[in-house]
Amino acid sequence: MKITDINTRLVTIPLITTFKTALRSVDRIENILVTVLTDSGQSGFGSAAPAAVITGDTVSSIVGGIEHIRDNLIGMEIGDSEKIFQRLNSCIVGCMSAKAAVDMAIYDLLAKSLEIPLYRLLGGVAHDVETDITVSLDTPEKMIAESREKLKRGFEILKIKVGGDPDLDIHRLQSIQETIGSEIRIRIDANQGWTAKEAVRVGRELEHRGIEIELMEQPVAARDFEGLRYVRNNVAFPVYADESVFSPEDALELICMKGVDGLNIKLMKCGGIYNALKIVSIAETAGIPCMIGSMMECHVSVSAAAHLAVSRTIIDRYDLDAPLFCSMNPAAGGISYQGSRVCFANAPGLGIDEISSE
Ligand SMILES: [Mg+2]
């Protein structure tokens, strides 16, 4: 089965509610749908999500990146996948989201050629996983209302966005917890919005006030690895890296310097499943747990992330709520949601039959 072409198509998906973090505010997303065509007639599907302030990738850089990748991969044999992934990763520097979209489409084809779901190709079995759901950064009143609405829908793990004003963040978290009680698991994500000292102050104050936090994600600037370690050593909660860990090299460095308690892996940062598996292996060797997350992505790429998520036991947290913000699924098939549960279809590859043509 040889690669004959790689097509892209841009989709605009309005969000059901605005998504706000310390870095950006989004009310519609643009994703690039990717189809890898082969001479057997079988197609592999993927998608990429631009997140310029995080990955540096825009719609045009992703489309241009994929065109360049296509020129390098045409004619290659799907079964010779190691060579494909080596070439995919070496033919262009950066462009991680473009690489991720093509990478997952190749994995989709590999699993389809064996007529097994992708999670089985990766060594996993299908089991529904529970995703957290994000509460956007806003006024405390709006965040309380949003938290209540999510709990009503059956979610039991909230990922609360903070970052920017440490005192207001403490107030936000205290108000939310007083309203929702202590049964609900709370993850907080500052999206680089604090200095290391501010993060420690927030962490200690939350502890002092008896506000239970399951984990604190990316408190400091992406490249401030020393700051991350300082926070980790000075707060009681586990500290997870997100924007600090793009590559296997980042994971190795952070883990060797004992800078983190956990990693949030996203395919758009690391360039797809091939590189994500390297990060997972490094983390597993060091006993560092992983979470699988996503950018504001549609069902296609989040399906790939979900298949990866159930394939390794060191991945034990799931932050796969992005499609729940989308007003439509541009693909037929893939993962589905039952409340907070992410469910798999027992179908070959990603379980996606087609991606819509308009
Ligand atoms: Mg994050």
Q: Are 163 and 21 in contact (CB under 8 A)?
A: yes
SS3 7: strand
Residue 22 has pLDDT above 80, yes or no: no
Other C-beta atoms closer than 10 Å to the C-beta of 83 total 12
Percent of the chain residues past pLDDT 90, beyond the cut: 90
Q: What is the pLDDT of residues 298-313, one digit of tens each?
A: 999 999 999 999 999 9
Q: pLDDT-derived band of residue 354, with 50, 70 and 90 as boundaries?
A: confident
Q: Rounded distance, CA 11 to CA 339, Å?
A: 25
Other C-beta atoms closer than 10 Å to the C-beta of 58 total 14
87 CA → ligand 1 middle, Å: 29
210 CA → ligand 1 middle, Å: 24
Q: What is the pLDDT of residues 203-250, one digit of tens each?
A: 999 999 999 999 999 999 999 999 999 999 999 999 999 999 999 999
Q: Rounded distance, CA 256 to CA 275, Å?
A: 18
228 CA → ligand 1 middle, Å: 14
134 CA → ligand 1 middle, Å: 10
Residue 358 has pLDDT above 60, yes or no: no
Query: Residue 180's pLDDT is what?
Result: 86
Residue 173 has pLDDT above 60, yes or no: yes
Query: Residue 38's pLDDT is what?
Result: 97
Work out whether strand 341-343 and strand 315-318 pair parallel, antiparallel, or are unpaired: unpaired
145 CA → ligand 1 middle, Å: 22
Residue 270 has pLDDT above 80, yes or no: yes
Q: What is the pLDDT of residues 118-162, one digit of tens each?
A: 999 999 988 889 999 999 999 999 999 999 999 999 999 999 999
Q: pLDDT-derived band of residue 21, with 50, 70 and 90 as boundaries?
A: confident
Say which residue the tokens 């841009």 belong to: 10
Residue 334 has pLDDT above 90, yes or no: yes
Q: Rounded distance, CA 261 to CA 254, Å?
A: 10
242 CA → ligand 1 middle, Å: 5
Q: What is the pLDDT of residues 239-268, one digit of tens each?
A: 999 999 999 999 999 999 999 999 999 999
Q: Are 27 and 18 in contact (CB under 8 A)?
A: yes
Residue 59 has pLDDT above 80, yes or no: yes
Average pLDDT over residues 92-106: 97
Q: pLDDT-derived band of residue 67, with 50, 70 and 90 as boundaries?
A: very high
Average pLDDT over residues 87-114: 97
Domains of the chain: 3-115 (3.30.390.10), 120-355 (3.20.20.120)
276 CA → ligand 1 middle, Å: 16
Q: Are 333 and 20 in contact (CB under 8 A)?
A: no
Active site residues: 161, 266
Handedness of CA 257, 277, 63, 54 (dihedral sign): negative
Average pLDDT over residues 337-344: 95
Q: pLDDT-derived band of residue 323, with 50, 70 and 90 as boundaries?
A: very high
